[in-house]
Amino acid sequence: MLTEDARKDFELLYGNTGNVFVIPHPYPNEISRIDFNERDNMKAVVIARLDPYKQLELTVDIFDIVVKELPGVRLEIYGRGPEEERLRDRIKSLGLEKNIFLMGYTDKPLAAFNTAVLSVFTSKAEGFGLTLMESICNGCPAFAFDIKYGPSEIIENGRTGYLFPRFNAESFAGKVVEYLKNEKMQRIMSGNCYAAAAKFSSERFLENWYKMTEILCGPEG
């Protein structure tokens, strides 16, 4: 399984079989820590397919609240999908064309994370949340709803990002505003993200697989 919550749900259905293990995806790239001063401390990013499951209209509504407090904030949304025109219309109807930008597809997501001070994740549900992991491994704290599965096991709440009650836009927006007003907090949490990246290393991933096979097959297996 990719997460502890998935394992627990599996065991609720099938019982504790003794052979279910949790091994998260690894982060496959080398981590290059950039100078925090290279980041725009009023910029947030989203990297996601533009489909209803990602609830990006809710992201827009959250930043509608944020912009009322911080008119200089910038949100960049990277991705393509069937919701693109609907999102464009929503941004226009709220008068947010100077704050929220649909950037299209990118094959350089790390560059986006390296220029922002937070990433936003408003999905209804996920199997793991690869973009959350990528964000944190690149020093960009992640803000997400506490959904199944992934966010609560990838994000250390208050340390490498924040978790919010499911689909509560007001609490989400309030924390974004608080965070964007506090550059010291941004610097600390970015550093925390780099430190936390070790748990997603390829070395840790291989260790976990080795431990699993040793338990299942024995040390001689």
What is the assigned CATH class of domain 36-199? alpha beta
Percent of the chain with pLDDT over 90: 71
Structure tokens at 16: 């504790």
Q: How far is it, in rounded angstroms, from Cα 188 to Cα 197?
A: 15
Q: What is the DSSP letter of 138?
A: T
> Does 221 have pLDDT greater than 60?
no
pLDDT surpassing 90 at residue 128? no
User: What is the spatial distance between Cα 21 and Cα 75, in angstroms, rounded to a whole number?
Assistant: 37
pLDDT digits (tens, 9 = 90+) for 19-46: 889 988 888 888 889 999 999 999 999 9
Task: Yes or no: say if 58 and 147 are a contact pair by the CB < 8 Å rule.
Answer: no
Q: Which residue's entry shows tokens 């999905």?
A: 123
- Residue 88 burial (10 A CB sphere; 0-12, 13-18, 19+): middle
For position 207, what pLDDT does the model report? 86
Run of H or E including 186: helix 183-196
Report which of 63, 128, 118 is spatially closest to residue 95, judged by C-alpha positions: 63
* Domain assignments of the chain as residue spans, ordered by start: 36-199
Residue 56 · residue 122 · CB < 8 Å = yes
CB within 8 Å of 18: residues ≥ 6 apart: none
Q: How far from each other are the two terminal CA atoms of the chain, in whole angstroms?
A: 21
Q: Could you tell me if 1 and 20 are in contact, meaning their C-beta atoms sit under 8 angstroms apart? A: yes
- Cα angle 60, 61, 63 (rounded to 5 degrees) comes to 65
**Confidence (pLDDT) at 28:** 82
Summarised one tens digit per residue, pLDDT across range 77-91 is: 999 999 999 999 999
Question: Edge-to-edge, what's the strand order for the sheet holding 74-78?
Answer: 100-104, 74-78, 43-47, 118-121, 142-145, 161-164
Size (the chain), residues = 221
Cα Rg of the chain, angstroms:
18
Cβ atoms 106, 78 nearer than 8 A: yes
Helix axes 183-196, 169-180, angle to 10 degrees: 100
Asked if pLDDT for residue 104 goes beyond 80, the answer is yes
